[in-house]
Structure 1
Amino acid sequence: MRPGPQRAGRRLLAQVDGVSCGPSVLVATAALTGSGWPGAVAGRFGRAQRLAHRQANRWWPRALGTTPFGMRRWLHRHAPAAGRFRIRPWSSATSGAVAAAAAAGHPVPLLVGSVWLPRHWVLVIRVGERGWEVYEPSSGEVRLLAPGTLATRSATPVLGWPRAYCALVPRP
């Protein structure tokens, strides 16, 4: 039996279907930043995801997930305590900005995917001594990610996808 990915030891709630990773990250970001989101409780998490998905995807088909622009717009409107975000394409500079924001206590949505397509939203929630703690919504787990794995496109064992595409970095 192969060993699984390292885990940061906590568990949050999982996404309700195969296309609600973005809304799960939105609801988690709102809850973690104290925006008063009423749905971040086990019995209401599914409803909160569905509502966030409708609100974030005004003109984009929900079956295709949630765009970075829809994520940013939703956070600005519905999670004011999270602050303002900018969309940053992935680079080593973006990695540093993500680490700095998470170290300062700001959750950072991160879009990952295959070599060809962005596919999945995760949430960097903390920077620890051993790496980044990342909420992975398909499992509901908080997993430990070595940031260098994103540079080498080898994050698949932890995030399910090898490549980072962009991050929603909080503005200072």
Structure 2
Amino acid sequence: MRTVCGFGRAVQALVGRRPLAVDGVRPLVARGLPLLSTGPGDQVRDGVRLDQVDATTCGSAVLVALSAWASAAELERLDPGGADPVVGGVRQGFGARYDARQKQVHRETNRLWPQALGTTPWGMVGWLTRNVPAAGRYRVRLVDDSSAQDLRPLVAEVVAALTAGRPVPVLVGTVVPRHWCLALTVGDGGHWNVYEPTSGQVRAVDPELVGRRALAPVLGFDRLHAVLSPRG
């Protein structure tokens, strides 16, 4: 059974829209100061678990992590150094700044789309284009995970991007899209090291699980709906 995005990808194929070639994915000109480590494990900074602040901000947590990967300004915003400011009699440490930043990004990515429904792929791309040009250009790549013909180039796209040091946001769900994660690197045995923001962990994901529609044990939901693929 196709997912919602799988039907969208099938329509694209019918009208002759093909995936872009994976050749020519370039590394970033400059690297930021990453929040996340690239190996599997809990993601903690200043004693704060780097998880999503609420049930609707998985996309925002992914965007903050990708922004820090590409631009030092993101981490400097979250961890400016010096004494923590006091706001309303409450000391604002790293955790408060990190939560507030996710909520700010969520507002900025959802200009028309209801915040309660999370963040659309097009909202994610638009925010990156406006706010983090150092991350390079991304495009929305819908996925039909019921089609081996569609998955082969998709996996090649993701591997090419990760090998070039370009993280790839991935959207998973049931028959409808539900949850954003961030593929960071290709790890041991060809596994993808993927940040899963509900747990605040980087987890090793066997890409063969995409074709089996069995991602839930590692990413929370079985089906892959879309990725944000770097463009050059």
Same fold (TM over 0.5): yes
Aligned residues: 165
What residue in structure 1 maps to residue 171 of structure 2? Answer: 111
What residue in structure 1 maps to residue 212 of structure 2? Answer: 152
Superposed displacement of residue 39, structure 1: 3.1
Superposed displacement of residue 36, structure 1: 1.6
Could you tell me the TM-score, scaled by structure 2's length? 0.68
The answer to whether structure 1 residue 74 and structure 2 residue 127 are counterparts is: yes
Q: Identify if the C-alpha distance between structure 1 residues 150 and 8 changes in structure 2 by more than 3 Å, giving closer, same or farther.
A: same
Superposed displacement of residue 121, structure 1: 0.2
CA contact (8 A) 1:110 1:121 kept: yes
CA contact (8 A) 1:27 1:39 kept: no
Alignment of 1:22-171 (within 5 A): 22-34=59-71, 36-37=73-74, 38-39=77-78, 42-90=95-143, 91-92=150-151, 93-114=153-174, 116-130=175-189, 131-171=191-231
| Structure 1 residue ranges (4+ consecutive) displaced by more than 6 angstroms after TM superposition | none
Question: Does 21-30 or 9-18 show the bigger shift?
Answer: 9-18
Superposed displacement of residue 42, structure 1: 3.8
Question: Which is greater in Rg?
Answer: 2
Could you tell me the TM-score, scaled by structure 1's length? 0.91
Superposed displacement of residue 35, structure 1: 5.2
Superposed displacement of residue 160, structure 1: 0.5
Comparing both structures, which one devotes a greater share of its residues to strand? Answer: 1
Alignment of 1:7-26 (within 5 A): 8-12=40-44, 13-26=50-63
Query: Sequence identity of aligned pairs in percent?
Result: 45
Q: C-alpha separation between the residues in 2 aligned to 1:156 and 1:103?
A: 25
Q: C-alpha separation between the residues in 2 aligned to 1:32 and 1:79?
A: 10
CA contact (8 A) 1:20 1:65 kept: yes
For structure 1, the 5+ residue unaligned runs are: 1-6
Q: C-alpha separation between the residues in 1 aligned to 2:134 and 2:95?
A: 22
Superposed displacement of residue 10, structure 1: 4.4
What residue in structure 2 maps to residue 4 of structure 1? Answer: none
Q: C-alpha separation between the residues in 1 aligned to 2:210 and 2:166?
A: 20
Q: C-alpha separation between the residues in 2 aligned to 1:143 and 1:42?
A: 22
